Amino acid sequence: MTFNIDLNSSYIENKINDLEKLTDEDRPYTRLVFSEKFYEARSWLSEQFNLLGLSITTDEAGNLIGLLKSKKDTNKVVIVGSHIDTVPSGGRYDGTAGVISGLCLIKHIKENNIELPFNLAIYDYLGEELNEWGTSCIGSRGIAGALNEDILSRQNSSGQILKEEINKIGGNAKLLNKPLPVIKNILACLELHIEQGKILEDRKIDIGIVKSIPSISRFKVTVTGQAGHSGTILMNQRADALVTASEIITFVNKLALKISKNSNQHFVSTIGKIDVHPNSAAIIPGLVEMTIDLRATSQNSRQEFINTLEQKISSINENNDCKIKMKDIAFAPFVEMDKELIALFKKSSDSLGFSSNIMNSGAGHDTAQLSRVAPAAMIFIPCKDGLSHCPEEYAEVSDIAKGTEVLYNMIENLANLSLT
Ligand SMILES: [Zn+2]
């Protein structure tokens, strides 16, 4: 059944326009998980599921699900979807593009009375973005059984406990100590997402087919010096924690640059969060806390980075009045997407005449969590200037429509495979 790009583009555009209005007014586009605007967006999404005639549930991990039941008596399910939460002042397409393309896909299937031999579910995975509870991908981790009591008991700055928030939105945190039963019925988890980088745009490629998602590590670095009067303590008498921290910041950047140049792998490291204490113009900084974010597709490169950084830290500690400590606070392993689904995505994209590129993802995604327990794969569509996690984030609706057509073709291919 032909997929009308123009018609579907206008549907996608309308839905993006609807959802972008559900933002904290003073800082577009902000829809943090469990916030008032997030709840409003969930009601909007339930309404969309309703309009498509889907049956609506929330699973134990708080994922909102719209289900298109097959006429065949089967529990087998293909899942599409992404997330509708955002980072603070994030964009209108990260996550949203995948959820809306899922709506569009189901609309196309319903309008054309296409019968599928499996159930088709659209998921809004709960809280994909890193949040105040220090975890990302709450819903997809929940499906994979990767939310432990330590994570579930965490509190945010207002004292809200993660597991209570999951229960409030319709989940059941008590049942999250193991993978959810649905995993045994999943035929495929498919996600469409904006690339959040520049490769597709620069090379004018329609579809990125993801082959792997890098490991993500976060380390907390604490530099302890001595606070003091900025006028009276002479330069040679100081233990300025911020000066020592700046050495680490520069070192991390240069080291990551060197490793990424020497390996052909995706390798990036960032220090994007730093707290200076007491953070006052007339006081020498006595304490600095910062977070290193490290993403790598190669375990060797990751280890080389950690070893070299640890050596640097011990040499600073030996020769400096400031003392540095580094602590591992989060880790998500490197994962590869399902090879058969990658090949099928390539076949779908080729058959529709789209150019495609098999590539590594730079960012983490729900699909990384899902791939631990089910066949999973994802595609990227281009986004303008590679910008993401900022209000300027932009993707052409026609590109989302192309990606949706690839998803539809995948569904057809999977249907043919299940019938044979
Ligand atoms: Zn995302």
CATH number of the CATH domain containing 33:
3.40.630.10
**Domain identity same for 120 and 195:** yes
Q: Residue 420 has what pLDDT?
A: 63
Q: CATH number of the domain that 321 lies in?
A: 3.30.70.360
Strand partners, 81: 123
Residue 46: which domain range? Answer: 5-213+335-419
**Domain identity same for 233 and 296:** yes
- pLDDT per position as a tens digit, 135-185: 899 999 999 999 999 999 999 999 999 999 999 999 999 999 999 999 999
Which of 332, 366, 388 corresponds to the end of one domain? 332
In contact, 190 and 122? CB cutoff 8 Å: no
Cα-to-centroid distance, 382 and ligand 1 (Å): 14
**Domain identity same for 258 and 187:** no
Question: Which residues have CB atoms below 5 A from the ion given as ligand 1?
Answer: 94-95
**Domain identity same for 93 and 225:** no
Cα-to-centroid distance, 365 and ligand 1 (Å): 6
Cα-to-centroid distance, 368 and ligand 1 (Å): 11
Cα-to-centroid distance, 135 and ligand 1 (Å): 14
**Domain identity same for 356 and 290:** no
Q: Note down pLDDT in tens along the chain; length 420 residues.
A: 789 999 999 999 999 999 999 999 999 999 999 999 999 999 999 999 999 999 999 999 999 999 999 999 999 999 999 999 999 999 999 999 999 999 999 999 999 999 999 999 999 999 999 999 988 999 999 999 999 999 999 999 999 999 999 999 999 999 999 999 999 999 999 999 999 999 999 999 999 999 999 999 999 999 999 999 999 999 999 999 999 999 999 999 999 999 999 988 899 999 999 999 999 999 999 999 999 999 999 999 999 999 999 999 999 999 999 999 999 988 889 999 999 999 999 999 999 999 999 999 989 999 999 999 999 999 999 999 999 999 999 999 999 999 999 999 999 999 999 876
**Domain identity same for 55 and 166:** yes
Contacts of 201 (CB under 8 A, 6+ apart): 195, 382, 383, 384, 385, 386
**Domain identity same for 74 and 196:** yes
Cα distances from 343 to residues 339, 377, 411, in angstroms, run: 6, 10, 14
Cα-to-centroid distance, 126 and ligand 1 (Å): 11
Cα-to-centroid distance, 363 and ligand 1 (Å): 8
Cα-to-centroid distance, 92 and ligand 1 (Å): 10
**Domain identity same for 88 and 113:** yes
Cα-to-centroid distance, 150 and ligand 1 (Å): 24
**Domain identity same for 209 and 353:** yes
**Domain identity same for 141 and 269:** no
How far is it, in rounded angstroms, from Cα 58 to Cα 223? 44
For the beta carbon of residue 169, count every other beta carbon within 10 angstroms.
21
How far is it, in rounded angstroms, from Cα 22 to Cα 38? 8
Cα-to-centroid distance, 29 and ligand 1 (Å): 14
Cα-to-centroid distance, 316 and ligand 1 (Å): 38
- Is the CA virtual torsion 16, 21, 24, 29 positive or negative? positive
How far is it, in rounded angstroms, from Cα 192 to Cα 354? 15
Q: Residue 411 has what pLDDT?
A: 98
In this structure, which amino acid lies at residue 330? Answer: A
Cα-to-centroid distance, 63 and ligand 1 (Å): 15
How far is it, in rounded angstroms, from Cα 47 to Cα 172? 23
Cα-to-centroid distance, 130 and ligand 1 (Å): 10
**Domain identity same for 161 and 285:** no
Structure tokens at 209: 């087919």
**Domain identity same for 324 and 219:** yes
Which of 312, 332, 352 corresponds to the end of one domain? 332
Cα-to-centroid distance, 98 and ligand 1 (Å): 9
Cα-to-centroid distance, 197 and ligand 1 (Å): 12
pTM given for the model: 0.90
| Total count of domains within the chain | 2
Instruction: Output the DSSP codes for 70-90.
Output: -SS----EEEEEE-----TT-
Cα-to-centroid distance, 97 and ligand 1 (Å): 9
Which of 332, 366, 394 corresponds to the end of one domain? 332
- pLDDT per position as a tens digit, 336-359: 999 999 999 999 999 999 999 999
Cα-to-centroid distance, 194 and ligand 1 (Å): 8
Cα-to-centroid distance, 86 and ligand 1 (Å): 8
How far is it, in rounded angstroms, from Cα 301 to Cα 338? 23
Q: Residue 331 has what pLDDT?
A: 86
